[in-house]
Amino acid sequence: MKKLLMGILLLLILHTTYYDLTTGTLLSPRVESEAAEVLAPPKDDAPYVVYKINAGDTVLSLVEKANGSVPVAIETVVHDFETLNKIHPTEIQIGKEYKIPTYPNTSAQ
């Protein structure tokens, strides 16, 4: 009787293992369509000035130099710089020239 119960238990374990590995017991993930955020395509005629990088320059300091201050969010400056130069602001190199975005004066209202 003990051998019969052990055999049935072994078959049950093997069957559940096989079923779990082939079919699975988890529900299939439902793919819900999410509203994709539509971003405006980058403008090729975006206003910028070209600066040659010197020691100690940062993208933010060059934007301040070009605009007098930073009139937009820093994330916007980073995004615009990456769009213009195809490089992250932390990867700028001394001696190379980069396009620095300029912004219209938003404080003159």
> Which pairs from 40-45 meet CB under 8 Å and 24+ separation?
42/83
Q: Where are the domains of the chain?
A: 48-101
pLDDT digits (tens, 9 = 90+) for 53-92: 999 999 999 989 888 888 889 999 999 999 999 999 999 9
**Domain 48-101, CATH among 3.40.50.261, 2.40.50.140, 3.40.470.10, 3.10.350.10:** 3.10.350.10
pLDDT digits (tens, 9 = 90+) for 6-45: 999 999 999 988 888 888 766 666 555 554 454 454 555 6
Rg (CA), the chain: 30
Provide the phi-psi class of 78: left if phi over 0, else alpha when psi is between -120 and 50, else beta: alpha
Q: What is the pTM of this model?
A: 0.55
